[in-house]
Amino acid sequence: MFEVVAFCRKVRAKAGAFSLVLAPLLGLLLLQSHAANAAPNWTLDPDASVLTYQSVKKNTIVETNKIRNITGTLSSAGDAKISFDLNSVDTGVDLRNVRMRFLFFETFKYPTAELTAKVDPAAFADLPAKRRIKASLPFRLSLHGVDKDLEASVVVTMISDTQVSVASEAPVAVHVEDFGLLPNVDKLQQAANVTNIVPTASVSFDFVFIADGSKPAAVQTVAAGTTGVGPVATDAAKANFSDEECLNRFAVLSRTGAIYFRPASARLDAKSRPLLTEVEGVVGKCPTLKVEVSGYTDSDGSPEANKALSERRAQAVADALVAGGVPRQQISAAGHGEESPVAANDTPKNKALNRRIEFSATKLAN
């Protein structure tokens, strides 16, 4: 959970770093344009770059995590763009990774975060002479469907004529409420059974850019002392999940609250499609398991009517998964009505929590 908050912060810091990187790189581009017919573009080296974020839970427990898969470019015109693969959140624990992805970032709807900036190369024209410049530059961060203009302090170091490092001068604070993520902190707290997750994260980064066409050997030397950096394989690259990974994903997907029906109806809303697609992908990588779709309601209405409605809703989800390619023999549906509430049926918010679809799995019979 904290990782999620921290990650948001991390993205923000990273955005600032990229903006600063762009500026010095542009200065280099200007110098090189005198020696060549065309100035080069620049590309972020993911193996030499690192971004970490710290979050706090229970008021005192600090956790440090990473976003591994980062890509970025800087054009000779000064346009910078950095993308963060939120499915590459690395907390060191699979279950925590999945919670961060599905509950906090909602990667089934918002799989990436993006930083963009426009840099004036004239402001950093003396970087080749100074070799190191501190600056505060503006950037725009797009996260969870929200665009926000931010600013960060960074240190830009010219490693060589073809390599530039952009690092945070100090940890950058990122506030989750700025990106509409505060309700998702509640989901994390409930899923992990923890309290007091601080809704602000501290993000640190060190990004290395190389000129297109240059050899990255020196960059590898710079990054030699860094551990746990660079790209990692995400779920998309895995052929199948282990049983534990499957169960982790079904348990967390059950908590997203992203399956929607019309009031008192079993008709699925189109807004459910992103999560259904995610579930289909997980089931496809758990071929030895049978998945049960369970429907629940709040306590409004008679128990008999609620049970019937929950059965129809569970079956509607199961049918949608089969229509999406899941083998019929791998899916079953059951309705439980108002049984097993997860909250008291005393407020609209709590009733909404009880109206839910859950996924569980057992071994397929031979």
Question: Are 209 and 299 in a shared domain?
Answer: no
Q: What is the pLDDT of residue 13?
A: 43
Q: Are residues 216 and 103 in the same domain?
A: yes
| Domain end residue (candidates: 209, 235, 261) | 235
CA-to-CA distance for 298 and 356, rounded, in angstroms?
A: 9
CATH number, domain at 276? Answer: 3.30.1330.60
Count CB atoms within 10 A of the CB of residue 154.
28
Q: Which residue has the tokens 């990650």?
A: 7
For residues 207 and 287, membership in a common domain is answered with no
What is the 8-class DSSP label of residue 103? Answer: I
Residues 22 and 160 in one domain: yes
Confidence tier at 201 by pLDDT (50, 70, 90): confident
List Cα–Cα distances, 276 to 131, 245, 282, 295, in angstroms.
51, 18, 10, 15
Strand segments, DSSP code E, in the chain are: 42-44, 50-57, 61-67, 70-74, 79-85, 89-90, 112-118, 132-143, 146-160, 163-168, 172-175, 200-211, 289-296, 331-335, 356-363
**Does position 27 have pLDDT exceeding 90, yes or no?**
no
Mean pLDDT of 260-281: 96
Claim to verify: residue 177 and residue 303 sit in the same structural domain: no
Closest CA to 72 of 39, 37, 101, 112: 112
Q: Return the pLDDT at 198.
A: 86
Shared domain for 199 and 328, answered yes or no, is no
Question: Position of tokens 């807004």?
Answer: 271
Residue 308 CA to residue 301 CA, distance in Å, equals 11
Alpha-carbon span 25 to 257, nearest angstrom: 44
Is the confidence at residue 4, as pLDDT, over 70? Answer: no
Instruction: Choose between 299 and 216: higher pLDDT.
Output: 299
User: Any residues with CB less than 8 A from the CB of 219 and at least 6 apart, and which?
Assistant: 45, 47, 48, 159, 163, 208, 210
Give the model confidence (pLDDT) of 149-197 as tens digits. Answer: 888 888 888 998 899 888 889 888 889 999 999 999 999 999 999 888 8
Residue 49 above 70 pLDDT?
Answer: yes
Q: What is the pLDDT of residue 32?
A: 42
CB atoms within 10 A of CB 122: 12
**Looking at the structure, do residues 110 and 253 belong to the same domain, yes or no?**
no
Pick the last residue of a domain from 208, 235, 262. 235
CA quadruple 301, 303, 305, 307: dihedral, nearest 10? 130
pLDDT, tens digit (0-9, with 9 covering 90-100), for 323-363: 999 999 999 999 999 999 999 999 999 999 999 999 999 99
Residues 194 and 262 in one domain: no
pLDDT of residue 39: 55
**Is residue 142 domain-shared with residue 263, that is, in the same domain?**
no
pLDDT tens sequence across 69-126 = 999 998 877 788 999 999 999 999 999 999 999 999 999 999 999 999 887 777 677 8
Number of domains in the chain: 2
Tokens of 270: 């189109």
Q: Name the pTM for this structure.
A: 0.85
pLDDT value at 28 more than 50:
no
What does the DSSP 8-state code read for residue 88?
A: G
Percentage of residues in the chain having pLDDT higher than 70? 85
Q: What mean pLDDT value characterizes the chain?
A: 85
Q: Which residues constitute the domain of residue 243?
A: 238-363
| Domain end among 235, 257, 287 | 235
Residue 216 has pLDDT above 70, yes or no: no
Token couple for 46: 């993911």
Q: In this structure, what CATH number is given to the domain that contains residue 161?
A: 2.40.128.110
Do 222 and 257 belong to one domain?
Answer: no
| Rounded Cα distance, 29 and 237, in Å | 36
**Pairwise CA distance, residues 296 & 341, whole Å:** 8
Judge if 127 and 177 occupy the same domain.
Answer: yes
Between 172 and 4, where is the model more confident? 172
Percent residues over pLDDT 90 in the chain = 56
φ, ψ of residue 7 to 5 degrees: the values are -65, -40
Q: Are residues 162 and 255 in the same domain?
A: no
